[in-house]
Chains A and B, each alone.
Chain A
């Protein structure tokens, strides 16, 4: 049983309700297994997904609401995976959007079973992936990186970065500099000095 739970941790747990959903055929990059879960797809410890097709929603407009209510507050990420399978999309999609917004769900839209399946796979595969690939690209050269770091401090511009670098020799010396030394740099006015010094010397966490 320990091994099954271990296995289950790496698999999507699929509700029995989803039996017969063609989407399941497209879950090939992750393992999945049927289980007794409240949501349609249990993706991780604190994330889950509900599946709804717009065609079904048109027939049962209240279905989604009741399913979301069942979830209660047990999940940090609650995905509503919406299969867009009707032509006239505006009205049903508006309703689904509204319901998900009002009940703290994240709406993802797929236009085919493949696409819907791929979302589920990706959410599972990326469960612990850092955000680096969608964050601002790090430039490899030193000056760009230095500029990137120092300009995060308000009022500090690219010229200031060069000034500070050449005045102190290294970033660690900039970070350790005294107010007087910072103020001696040309172009670094009183305001920037204070911002720089506070950023480096104020504790990360204020004592509450």
Chain B
């Protein structure tokens, strides 16, 4: 554990009430919770972990394994359907348990878990709480019945903690915690720990293609236009509406939060603008994440699904988005111009492999359209030809180059053992290159790019795209030709169903273009039918094997020389695992590409490509897909950031390539490196230059920092989130405790020696109704009470509480009289005030006003300490009164005794104390000396006579 982690935990445990910890995302939250678990003592009761996500649960367990003894029991996850008596037993066992709020609140209310048996509550994802959430309900029950058990809350989403007015404070209030612990990445202790041995970082800026740049500019332009339009509605606060904010999901929240209260009053257009912004943000994100073909496919579905309603789609800039997206994939060329353009194109084209296909496609167009028959035949003949372009993502090439470079260096490092290379590669997990990208999809695609070639990947995507087009087309012709379609087609329904649900033909695609696409597709159909037989169970199971292990990361060994044997052993490896997990994959994955039938199709296509490779391999050995077999690659593992697993400790990579930059992952790398300072670690960041990706990454850090700054500001102004009032038992005769409780204060009844109400460690209140006031002045009790309050509290308060049904005044002006009279209440109060200048007077109209005043006085004060309040004024066995500053310097018991002796007054008791050492000596002082000290013969005689008076005896 890093030093700062220990500090976070000890800081948190400092307050017996618990607290709220907010830390930068990516800092090791699971280890913090794990160390709380380590400190948990089963004899104190159970430790309940609330609202943990599944990944958090496993991460906490993993961290516990790392830090704890191996025999330590992991926290048990209580499933919702566990019989209630089993739950009761678990709660009673004093173990650490994961439990959902819903189950726990029911168990608390039905007393299946006595609140006193809960040693502590740990609430994760505290940013999701509100004062009406179930967690708040649980906290309230717990506080009422077992006020001493701490509640620890955690969040690693500082941005979410500042969404909404005083959200952090409200969350703390609802959990009854008082302390807010902020641990931003820029906290000096965190940064020193993390920057002691930082990893070697290389920032690789990859230029985008002109088309990508064009699309990005167009999307940003559209966003800007939408924002301007939204501002014009005057319905939202414009300050937060910036393009930069628009890059984040939370932007929707900002807008929705403002609009939700008036949502029903908004016009269609405003609502549409809000949803358009969301769409545009996705377009921007997908631009750098999806390949060109998938991107186009996504745009196509967008056009179908929201073409009619959306505002942006008719904007000028959006036209550009579609144009450029299409250009990245294909172009339509007039037939007469075809030859020229193909020739010129082929000169600029990087991938010559496709030439052959291209010509086939081009020449096949006419033929296949003939096969399609129907009315479109004539149009097609009018001479529009499809020309593929299939732009690859620029990062792909860079990634391959990086991997080759890494492998080269790695081989240099272990040169002497070259003979044993293969064996070592297979066994040594510490030599792994980790490639982190956003989602599973990217993982799979990149893996394909590395294992095969980018061109193949693009081609497959393209073929799938075309097949999708055909499907769309055939759907429109409903059943007519259904029976004639090849079997493989049925399974593709899922691919296009979403996009084509409303069956409307995309209006802006020209008929020619559509037909040409269909023609190209049908050609592929024929091809795929031909190789149907090429499918075999082995390759299918292999595909499934790939799927299964993904996300957890898996190594792909050096592909060069060892490819064949490796692949074989791999298959065997996965075949048995396959049985266990195959059901999972058949069970409803919504992503059509992950369906097993989908992979079936994919396999077919793969086979095609392999065949093509074989054919073309002779002619163009140095080109295309064969390229990737030339240079060896290191073992690579792919990791999807979305899967949210903590894999660094498991995989121990020596190089990490951050393919899609992500702030959280960067922190995880930092922590991993800091925990393993001796390990060599190199990190590459792949950014598209001048892209929204960079902007978003940098903005995410800025946003988190400003969230923390705001939290720090809020913390300094924070009111006390819990209003505790300690009340003397005897006060429950009055209605004030009830009214305080009604006002939401937490009333703690105890027996108090000093005061009636303790509002804070400094404020002690003696409450007097008017009748009480007169009576206790008369008896002298009030004087005594004020005296002791003043002794133990910095702010002694006398509360004079009037009654609502009586007049709010002591007396009418006419009752006041002409002279200063010692029996008047005015005189008595004045005298009290003169003798206790520190006494604060509070005048309250009625009980409710008192409650208001109490809560106002409690602002900016600490909560009172129950155990201290009980001890105040109560001497312990050896006579020392705690917290009594005088007790350290004075013999308080002797002084109290002295002051009760006749003749001794406020004016002379100090002189007496100065004049003799102790009471025993005083008893023996002659009358002359007493006269001297007490400043008068009368008082001295009174004292002396009393001291020496003969006691009456019972005898």
Contacts and interface: CB of A to CB of B under 8 A. Distances in A.
Interface of A: 28-29, 47, 76-79, 82, 84, 89-90, 93-94, 97-98, 100-101, 104, 106-109, 111-115, 118-119, 121-123, 125-127, 129-138, 142-143, 145-146, 148-150, 152-154, 162, 165-166, 168-173, 175-176, 191, 194-195, 198-206, 208
Given A121-B820, A122-B827, A171-B951, A152 B897 contact: yes
Interface string B796-814: 0100000000001111110
B826 A134 contact: no
A76 B835 CA distance: 11
11 contacts: A77-B834, A122-B827, A130-B906, A131-B831, A134-B780, A142-B946, A154-B879, A170-B950, A175-B923, A198-B879, A203-B891
Contacts of A106: 833, 837, 839-841
A131 B955 CA distance: 39
A106 B913 CA distance: 31
Interface in B747-798: 777, 779-784, 795, 797
Interface residues of B, number: 82
Given A111-B810, A208-B889, A134 B905 contact: no
Nearest to A136: B780
Closest 7 CB pairs of A and B: A136-B780, A165-B951, A112-B813, A77-B837, A172-B923, A111-B809, A175-B923
A101 B923 CA distance: 44
A168 B951 CA distance: 8
A142 B31 CA distance: 73
B929 to A, nearest CB: 14
Contact of A204 (B782, B838, B894): B894
B837 to A, nearest CB: 4
A145 B879 contact: no
A84 B809 contact: yes
Given A106-B837, A171-B923, A199-B893, A118 B809 contact: no
B920 A29 contact: no
A138 B900 CA distance: 9
A186 B664 CA distance: 78
Interface string B918-955: 11101110000000000000000000001111111111
Contacts, number: 229
Contact of A133 (B831, B889, B895): B831
B919 A142 contact: no
Given A84-B809, A93-B845, A131-B783, A175 B919 contact: yes
B783 A206 contact: no
Interface string B890-914: 1101111110111001110000010
B893 A134 contact: no
B784 A136 contact: yes
B948 A170 contact: yes
B949 A149 contact: no
Given A204-B891, A204-B894, A108 B833 contact: yes
Contacts of B822: 133
B856 A94 contact: yes
A130 B935 CA distance: 15
A195 B857 CA distance: 39
Contacts of B548: none
B875 interface: yes
Contact of B813 (A114, A148, A202, A206): A114
Contact of B843 (A97, A143, A205): A97
Interface of B: 777, 779-784, 795, 797, 808-813, 816, 818-820, 822, 824, 826-835, 837-843, 845, 849, 852-853, 856-857, 875, 877, 879, 888-891, 893-898, 900-902, 905-907, 913, 916-920, 922-924, 946-955
Contact of A115 (B816, B818, B835, B900): B816
A170 B781 CA distance: 28
Given A76-B837, A145-B902, A122 B843 contact: no
A122 B891 contact: no
A173 B831 CA distance: 37
Given A118-B820, A129-B834, A165-B951, 17 more contacts: A28-B818, A82-B843, A89-B845, A94-B856, A111-B810, A115-B809, A122-B827, A126-B830, A129-B831, A136-B780, A154-B879, A166-B954, A172-B924, A172-B947, A200-B894, A203-B918, A204-B891
A125 B900 CA distance: 26
A15 B841 CA distance: 24
Contact of B920 (A129, A200, A205): A200
Given A77-B834, A93-B845, A119 B826 contact: yes
Contacts of B951: 146, 165-166, 168-171
A136 B896 CA distance: 13
B913 A176 contact: no
B902 A107 contact: no
Contact of A202 (B894, B913, B952): B894
Q: Which of B781, B829, B920, B953 has the most CB of A within 10 A?
A: B920
Contact of B913 (A29, A108, A145, A205): A205
B808 to A, nearest CB: 6
Nearest to A204: B913
Contact of A29 (B819, B896, B946, B954): B819
Residue of B781, B834, B856, B902 with most chain A CB atoms under a 10 A cut-off: B834
B353 to A, nearest CB: 82
Contact of A127 (B813, B834, B857, B918): B834
B894 A199 contact: yes
B845 A130 contact: no
Contacts of A206: 888-891
Contacts of A150: 897
A93 B949 contact: no
A168 B948 CA distance: 11
A143 B952 contact: yes
A191 B875 CA distance: 13
Contacts of A94: 849, 852-853, 856
A194 to B, nearest CB: 8
Contacts of A203: 891, 917-918
Contact of A100 (B840, B849, B901, B950): B840
B69 to A, nearest CB: 49
B686 to A, nearest CB: 58
Contacts of B835: 131
Given A90-B845, A195-B893, A205-B889, A134 B828 contact: yes
Contacts of B888: 206, 208
B935 to A, nearest CB: 13
B919 A135 contact: no
A151 to B, nearest CB: 9
Nearest to B894: A199
A127 B900 CA distance: 23
Given A136-B781, A149-B901, A170-B951, A93 B894 contact: no
B918 A204 contact: yes
Nearest to B916: A204
B614 to A, nearest CB: 89
A111 B843 CA distance: 12
B896 A152 contact: yes
Given A77-B833, A106-B839, A129-B834, A199 B897 contact: yes
